[in-house]
Amino acid sequence: MFTNRLLRLVPALAALALAAQPAGADEFTKEDLADWQQQFKSVMEKGEALFHSSDLGTNGHSCDGCHPDAANTHPETYPKYQQQIGEMAELRDMINWCIENTLDGEPLPLDSPELLQLEAYINWERRGVAMAPGKH
């Protein structure tokens, strides 16, 4: 029966789950933690500098002109339907929308370090805000 077939799958699934687990994934030292926090801080601070610079566009404006301290960026509401884009969007899609439409710049490639830096900074500024995906 169906249940029996499922039960026979259990050992195979357990083996797969174990194989997928990287060795020692749960173990880390205080030094590791300090290193990871430093890496986050360094990326986030680059994002902060970009957010306050006019380098992302061509009209001399910067993100902070309209979003001081990342105000009204609402990273906690993503992914959500975005009217400007006309479909479900991620935070990075709206970052690029603003680069194109408010700074007259070229959208950043989705795998660019700059996009990651901006996301890190925006999320850092809104830390502690409750997650609310899909919210308007």
Residues in touch with ligand HEC (CB under 6 A):
56, 61, 63, 65-67, 72-74, 77, 91, 94-95, 98-99, 102-103, 118
Round to whole Å and give the CA distance between 100 and 58: 10
- Minimum CB distance to ligand HEC, residue 44 (Å): 14
Local structure of residue 130 (DSSP, 8 states): P
Neighbours of 80 (CB within 10 A): 17
Shortest separation between residue 40's beta carbon and ligand HEC, angstroms: 18
Q: How far is the CB of 42 from ligand HEC (least distance, A)?
A: 19
The sign of the CA dihedral 20, 26, 32, 35 is positive
- Tell me which residue has its CB nearest to ligand HEC: 63
CB closer to ligand HEC out of 26 and 111? 111
Which of 41/135 has CB closer to ligand HEC? 135
Provide, rounded to whole angstroms, the least separation between the CB of residue 73 and ligand HEC: 4
Compute the least distance from the CB of residue 43 to ligand HEC, in Å: 15
Our CB check for ligand HEC shows the closer of 2 and 104 to be 104
Q: Which is nearer to ligand HEC, 95 or 120 (CB)?
A: 95
| b/e per residue 54-76 (b: at least 16 CB within 10 A) | eebbeeebbbeeebeebeebbbb
Task: Count the neighbouring beta carbons within 10 Å of the beta carbon of residue 85.
Answer: 13
